[in-house]
A and B are shown apart, each in its own frame.
Chain A
Amino acid sequence: AQSVTQLDSQVPVFEEAPVELRCNYSSSVSVYLFWYVQYPNQGLQLLLKYLSGSTLVKGINGFEAEFNKSQTSFHLRKPSVHISDTAEYFCAVSRRLTGGGNKLTFGTGTQLKVEL
């Protein structure tokens, strides 16, 4: 079975400050990890993903994440946030399905609130 834990339900941060959103996973099979962002009243948008290779993954909007197998973590970071980064962020672990599909198991999300 796979699971994802996002320990912080809300993270307030001032504009231009750095931020880290934490994600820990549990998986008994090969690990594929994702971060999605959800803006109010919108669908989920992929920020970045780890499938294999380099453990430091860079995504859109200046976000990056580091896969740490020994700590079973995939924390999301941004060195300087903007007001427009205010959104809900979801970490997910993937299991490949019959036929090559992809079943995502999501965490409960972290609400990032950027303040002036």
Chain B
Amino acid sequence: DTGVSQNPRHKITKRGQNVTFRCDPISEHNRLYWYRQTLGQGPEFLTYFQNEAQLEKSRLLSDRFSAERPKGSFSTLEIQRTEQGDSAMYLCASSQEQGIVGWTGELFFGEGSRLTVL
């Protein structure tokens, strides 16, 4: 399967601990996104990379959150000093360069990493 892959799928941690999530996008996609989804809500945009450059960050991304995409391939999302309010599903998505096809606007989502902070 060559879809977007996220690991781990589930993470339970104690308040104050650090956690890291990994996302492997579809191989030819140069754009990568992180979203957060809490219970009963739609996904909310966190941040966006084009290749290795982080081009936009949401105000939701506090200074405890850091995302990287070294070499423009996989990405990591780290949350430091976790709080109970960080409990959510963290979704990664990727999309394709415009190229000859033209802008399609479609994002391809992974299955998400569910974080539970006790």
Segment 25-58 of B: residues with Cβ below 8 Å from A: 31, 33, 35, 40-45, 48, 50, 53, 55-56
Interface-located stretch among B60-68, B72-80, B91-99: B91-99
Q: Are B110 and A100 in contact (CB under 8 A)?
A: no
Question: Residue among B43, B56, B106, B109 with the most chain A CB within 10 A?
Answer: B43
Q: How many residues of B contact A (CB 8 A)?
A: 30
Residues of A within 8 Å of B42, CB to CB, are 4, 90, 92, 106-109
Q: How many residues of A contact B (CB 8 A)?
A: 29
**Could you tell me the distance in whole angstroms from the C-beta of A44 to the nearest C-beta in chain B?**
4
Please tell me which one of the listed residues A34, A44, A51, A100 contacts residue B91 in the complex, with CB atoms under 8 A apart.
A44
Please tell me which one of the listed residues A44, A45, A46, A97 contacts residue B48 in the complex, with CB atoms under 8 A apart.
A97
Does A43 sit within 8 A of B, measured CB to CB?
Answer: yes
Does A102 sit within 8 A of B, measured CB to CB?
Answer: yes
8 contacts between A and B (CB under 8 A): A44-B107, A45-B109, A99-B31, A101-B31, A101-B56, A102-B31, A106-B44, A107-B42
Known: A34-B106, A43-B110, A92-B42; 4 extra A-B contacts, CB below 8 A, are: A4-B42, A45-B109, A101-B48, A103-B56
Residues of B participating in the A interface, judged by any CB pair closer than 8 Å: 4, 31, 33, 35, 40-45, 48, 50, 53, 55-56, 91, 93, 95, 97-98, 103-112
